[in-house]
Structures are given as structure tokens and as C-alpha cells.
Amino acid sequence: MRNLYKQIKGDKIDFKNKYEKYGSYGQEIINMLNEFDDLDYHDNSAFDKIGKFYKYIKLITPEFCYDEEKVELLRLLAKEKTWIEIKFSDNAIIDELPDFNYDGHLPNYNLDVYDSVEKLLDEIVYLARVHLIKPLYNFESLINFNLVNKCKKTSELIVQCANDFKLDARLVVIDAAFSKTDLLYDDGSGYHFFVIVTIDDEQYLIDCTYSQFFSWYENNINRLGNYCYRGCCVGSYALENVEIEKVSRTILRKGWIKATEDNLKHYLDGFVLMYRNGLYYENLGAAVYEVDYNIDTYYNFLFGDDSQLKHEGRKYLGFQPHPLKKSNFNFSNNKVLIK
């Protein structure tokens, strides 16, 4: 991860030459960027500083986004926030580590060997996690930003593994804003894969790459409301909603959870919230991180032709198309970062 951060940031950046022409605004930015540059990768104080950085961008955006000569500052800051997020992305907003111990055992696909559903699901997750830690067998590969773009192949492996156990398994995709036709993002990004496995007429949700949504990367609630930014990741809303947090902690630790209607709803609620931008809450008039969709609606989102995009509209989803009317809108419920 540090190599990726250095690749984006560059070995040495002269903040002063970039920003001093913007007067007091530029000096404030220089001070913040120098602080980020000096911090250790795992310094917990960085999280609050990132929140202040986002707030400051929102504060100055109305003055800079409508003037072509001034808007360059916002473009520069968009690049700066990328290396800042990447630098600290190995940290998690919720520190629920996977329950995993690599012992190198070979799988036994005889169902009689497993005396409980839990042990069978644990074995499937174990095999998926072994795949994820290769080739260096590094435990860090199982958490946070390291899992980005690995959901599809990992979920396909889980389906194959379940089939080897003679179990029914279904690969499920969450399209961005649950829309299969009208893409939320032009590049087709924003999707996620997970698996539903059926054992003895009961269904279980398996997601071994879920931790990617809990990295500090894009997980500070104060990024909400920034012009041209996406919303936050799932982890931000798990801290704001106790039911999402309970489900999230179980999946992060075990890799699976029983797919009851309530559990599936809370899992999918996190993605609904992730796709919303700051304008949604400004229009609502409050930062209330709740979702009214029921399980029937979610089945239509996942397997039918309905979508969040049809219900809520593009203006309130994905990249925020214009600045907030009030740049000091409070998106935080003042919850403390869990450490």
C-alpha cells in the first residue's frame, strides 16, 4: 500500500509553489498538507485531520467552483485527497479483524466430516481467505484497501467451493445504485459481488472481501457534501447505524452470516447509503442514515428491473453534481471513531 501511495503522491511535492498564490486559503492548505506528509501511516490523529480537510474544501468550494481561473484549486485538492486517502488506507474505521488462522490443511469435501453448518461455512471461508493471502501468505491481504477489485473472483471461487461440497450457491452482484441498465458511473464501477449459499433449506450470505468498505479510504463522514465527490463507504454508516454495525462486524470477523431478512436488509442498507451523496441529506434536511426499503424491494433491486436509481434519482446518487447550498451542513452525529 505504501508503494501505491508513493506512486500517486510522488517522492517530493513542493506544496508552497502550488498554493501560495491563493493567499490565506493557500497557506491553510499548505499547513494541512505538510501535516499529512509528516504523519506516520498508522497515526490515529490522521482520521480527524482528514475530516477537517474535507470540511475546509466544502467551505471554500462556493468561492472557487464557479470561476474558471479559481477552479484549478479544487482540481489540485482532488488530487491531494487521493494520496492522503491512500496513505492511511491500511487503517480500518472498525477494527473487527477476520477470524483466520492459516494452518495449511487440505480441504475435505466429504460433508460427513463437518458436524455443523457453522463448521462447513467456516471451511468455505477459510479456503477463500487462503486464496486471498497468496502468494506471500500475508494476513494483511485480508483487510481494508487490499481487497479492492477482488470481490468477483473471490465470490466465484466461493461458489465453486460450495459446489464442490454439493451445495447450491448463487453469485449475486450489487450494481452501483442497484441499476443494471442506467449506469451510475460512466466507467461501470461501484459494483460488488457476494454469494448466497443454501444448506438444509437455510440461506447464508458469504462475503470475504467486505473489509474493503471499512478502510479509512473514503470512510470519513465529512467527505459527504463535497462537490464532485462520491459519498462515503459502508463503514461510515456502520458507525452511524447500530443494526448495520452488528451485521458488519459479524461478516468482517466470520466472512459469513445467516441470510435472514433482517440481516440481508441491513447488509444491503449499507450499500444504499454508500451510493447517496451529500445533496440527498441536504434535501432531507438532516443527516439521518436510515433506509426505508424492505426485503421485497431489495429482491427486485437484485434480481428484477427495479433500482435505487429509479427511486432516488441521479442528482442524489454518485458524484455530487453541484455544491451544497450551505457549506457548513453537519453530516456527523458526533460519534467517536472505534479503535
Distance CA 229, CA 82 (A): 11
Percent of the chain at pLDDT > 70 equals 94
Whole-number Å distance between alpha carbons of 28 and 57:
11
At how many degrees (to 10) do helices 71-87 and 23-38 cross? 10
| DSSP states of 217-265 | TT--GGGTT-TT-----HHHHHTT-HHHHHHHHHHHHHSEEE--HHHHH
Distance of CA 216 to the CA centre of its chain: 9
Confidence of residue 9 (pLDDT cuts 50, 70, 90): low
- CB-count exposure of residue 29 (10 Å: 0-12, 13-18, 19+): buried
> In which element (H, E) is residue 73 found?
helix 71-87
Q: CA–CA separation, 9 vs 2, rounded Å?
A: 10
| Span 200-239, pLDDT tens digits | 999 999 999 999 999 999 999 999 999 999 999 999 999 9
Q: Is the peptide bond prior to 321 cis by the omega test (within 30 degrees of 0)?
A: no
Domain residue spans of the chain: 2-87, 111-316
Task: Give me the mean pLDDT over the 71-82 stretch.
Answer: 93
145, 152 Cβ separation under 8 angstroms: no
| 145 in Cβ contact with 215 (< 8 Å) | yes
Average pLDDT of the chain is 92
Total-model pTM:
0.93
d(Cα 205, Cα 172) in Å, to the nearest integer? 10
Residue 335 has pLDDT above 60, yes or no: no
Q: How far apart are CA 133 and CA 138, in angstroms?
A: 5
pLDDT at 46: 97
Order the strands of the 192-199 sheet from edge to edge.
168-174, 192-199, 202-206, 256-258
Q: Among residues 131, 184, 120, which one has the least CA distance to residue 155? A: 131
Q: What is the mean pLDDT of residues 81-107?
A: 93
CA–CA gap between residue 206 and residue 204 (Å, rounded)? 6
